Amino acid sequence: MDKQSKNFRVLDIYVRLCEGKIINKAEEAKKFGVDARSIQRDIDDIRAFLDERFANALDVRKITYSHLQKGFVITGVESSVMSNSEIFAVSKILLGSRAFAKKDMYNMIDKMIAGCVPQKNVKLVSELVANEKFHYVELRHKADIVDRLWEIGMEIQEQNLLEITYEKQIDAKETVSRIVQPVALLFSEYYFYLNAYIMKKDQTNTYAHAFDYPTIFRLDRIHSYKRTGQKFKIPYAGRFEEGEYRKRLQFMFAGNLIRLQFRFTGNSVDAILDRLPTAEVISKDAEGCVIKAEVYGRGILMWLLSQGTMVEVLKPEAFREDMKRTLREMLAKYD
């Protein structure tokens, strides 16, 4: 058999091993019209290839003989391929997020299952997520944001100042143009957001931050963007700590940092601590506990109101007064 045929045979065996198939020497010899020793040499070649990759820390897979299955199998795949439970969990999270248009969501899940699940499990995993895929309800904006996520992510990486056209309110279709310094992309409750500092020119005609804190722009409301041709530089010491900022930005409202204290008398303190990553219980008594937390913006107000009588804001005093005023205005609607 010529070299080209041997190469095809080796690749065919390798691909089927990767798909979770069992390779029986006698069956393979009959299939390709060669003797069993040729198949053994093919398997040895594949084994040597994987051993070299293992030595270079590029792979953990090995070819072993299974007496139970009466053939050669590839092992170690579980380290590089997602398990049924992992792919099922990720698919459920994706579908529950409702983050993407239906066609994009279907495409991502199908690719993930095809590329990450062992071949023998593809049908099972596909059937498990099929019902939720069928009943998936996409968001009303139906915007295609998959590519935009990557594109703006690259603009952040390359530190480009951008001019964006942004739709402030869906109903009014009011658009504004802003020069921004993009610093992070965030996801929260159905939507992706661009976190960016609004820029304005100072006395030296140089762009500077208009505010001390970044503004939140919903990604699907950005009609267009383009580079201004200018870069921004962030010293390492002053770099934007996205993870730390995200802990304090739970409600996608821009604003100054608020150091909050409130009394909680509900049953599940863990739910509060999970919702507010910076939250910490500072005291307890028979009726409940006092919690402190740091948050950016006033979006926290709506969440506190949603907790009903289980929450009482203690500090800061100005925020407590805002809470009282809001409650009076709400009550007035029922007079």
Report whether pLDDT(78) > 70.
no
Cα distance between residue 315 and residue 301, in whole Å: 13
* Mean pLDDT, rounded, for 314-323: 93
- Structure confidence by residue, pLDDT tens digits, 103-152: 999 999 988 888 777 677 788 888 888 888 888 888 888 788 889 999 99
Output the furthest CA–CA distance in the chain (Å, rounded). Answer: 92
Report whether pLDDT(162) > 90.
yes
- Structure confidence by residue, pLDDT tens digits, 181-190: 998 898 888 8
pLDDT band at 24 (very low <50, low <70, confident <90, very high): very high
**Average model confidence (pLDDT) for the chain?**
85
Cα distance between residue 137 and residue 139, in whole Å: 7
Neighbours of 172 (CB within 10 A): 8
pLDDT band at 237 (very low <50, low <70, confident <90, very high): very low
Residues 6+ apart with CB under 8 A from 6: 38, 42
Which pLDDT belongs to residue 181?
93
CB 128 within 8 A of CB 134: no
In sequence order, what are the beta bridge partners of 224? 165
Task: Output the CA–CA distances (angstroms, integers) from residue 335 to 324, 329, 331, 332, in the order listed.
Answer: 17, 10, 7, 5
Which pLDDT belongs to residue 4?
58
Q: What token pair was written down for 214?
A: 């970044």
Neighbours of 7 (CB within 10 A): 12
